[in-house]
Amino acid sequence: MESSIYSYSLFIALPLMLLFGFYFLFGQTPKKAIFENYVRSRRIMGVAMLLLAANYSVHFFFEIRFKNADAAIWMNLSTYFLCYWLFSSALTTLLDRFYITKRRWWTHIGLWILFSILSAIVLLLLPEGVMQTVTLLAMAAWLVGYGLFLSRRLLLAYYRAVRIFQDTHSDDIGLYIKWLSIFTYWAIIFGVGCGLLTFLPDNWIFIWILSSVPFYIYLFHCYQNYLLFYEQVESAMESEISSEAEILCDVQPEKTHEPEIPSYNAEFVGRIGEWIEKDGYLRPGITIKELAEMLHTNRTYLSAYIKTTYNMSFRDWITGLRMEYAKHMLIHNPELTIADISERSGFQSSSHFIRLFKANMNCSPAKWRKAEMK
């Protein structure tokens, strides 16, 4: 094999793809039933990475790109199309346990077969010329559009889940799934780039190969790190999302001149005030369902009260109460460290508290305390 940046890049990427793919398929995972979606997602991702590894192997061992460029492009396009579906399915099922269905699965497999057949006709049977160029561009546009469609579905599930968590949980559960949105945007750029790079001259193909290395290392790291938080996220989803329609529904209620609930029971408002005075919001992990039960009301009524009275989500409301408590502690308890105050104020961690404090006060808790105590 001729020594080149192209072959060296394949030599670097291929072992990583095989390692990650087999680990996702056969690596140990928790045996709890709640991890079922996580295991399914990892296995689908493992199949996708091994499929890409098979693609890399054909390029590396058989040098198909140098022997038949059109066949190499066809193989790449067909592989990307199927991997778009596998990647998006693996990630979406982490947010939507209802996503993988037989009907959806066979629909996308059918689309892949159709795309592969049409691509083969365009690249391998049509003579070179304007007709082939135009139809090839159409196939490339189909591939990109398909990837964007799947990405939109994933992002819709992500942002819907974040909004549900904000309205129901005091802790920032959405922080644990932020990597999904980061990876999706990165995947859009990377996936479209790969689709374009496959048509570039051979001298530039190594960019496509080498750029995949940090991309998949980040994915592997995120999957491993997500194990630490998955149970908490999935538990929150199971308690709040009972159907796929809830995940796909992104329609905001129409605004009317009359508020949804024009007035609130004085006794109910008093119970909330009493709960705040007793610093009930300091308990970590409190949910709107638990608070509604404590206040002897239902969560819908409580959620409406918070939104109409404070114009914010449940999590933002609890965070605001905790932040005011923390500011009081910073001034009146100078002997306490930032970590102590963070813990006593009910925040998930001191780093999370510092980040929120900076976002609200435009400075760190330590600097704010120093300025206030002068």
DSSP characters over 269-334? HHHHHHHHHTTGGGSTT-BHHHHHHHTTS-HHHHHHHHHHHHSS-HHHHHHHHHHHHHHHHHHH-T
pLDDT of 106 over the 70 cut: yes
Q: According to the CATH classification, is domain 266-372 in 1.10.10.60?
A: yes
Confirm if 326 and 354 have CB atoms less than 8 A apart.
no
Write down the residue that tokens 């999935």 correspond to. Answer: 234
3-state secondary structure of 287: strand
Query: What amino acid is encoded at 42 in this protein?
Result: R
Q: Give the integer Cα–Cα distance in Å for 132 and 70.
A: 11
Q: What is the pLDDT of residues 71-82, one digit of tens each?
A: 988 998 899 999
Q: Give the integer Cα–Cα distance in Å for 95 and 153.
A: 11
Residues 6+ apart with CB under 8 A from 64: 58, 71, 72, 75
Sign of the dihedral defined by the CA atoms of residues 362, 366, 372, 374, in that order: negative
Question: Where are the domains positioned within the chain?
Answer: 5-247, 266-372
pLDDT of 42 over the 80 cut: yes
Q: What is the pLDDT of residues 303-332, one digit of tens each?
A: 999 999 999 999 999 999 999 999 999 999
Q: What is the pLDDT of residues 131-164, one digit of tens each?
A: 998 998 899 889 989 999 999 999 999 999 999 9
Q: Give the integer Cα–Cα distance in Å for 104 and 19.
A: 29
Q: Give the integer Cα–Cα distance in Å for 115 and 136.
A: 11
What are the structure tokens assigned to 154, written together? 């994933």
Query: Which helix (H) or strand (E) is 169 found in, with range?
Result: none
**What is the CATH code for 5-247?**
1.20.1070
The mean per-residue pLDDT over the stretch 288-310 comes to 92
Q: Give the integer Cα–Cα distance in Å for 71 and 225.
A: 39
pTM of the full structure: 0.87
Q: Give the integer Cα–Cα distance in Å for 179 and 166.
A: 17
Q: Give the integer Cα–Cα distance in Å for 111 and 85.
A: 10
Q: Give the integer Cα–Cα distance in Å for 209 and 186.
A: 15
Confidence of residue 66 (pLDDT cuts 50, 70, 90): confident
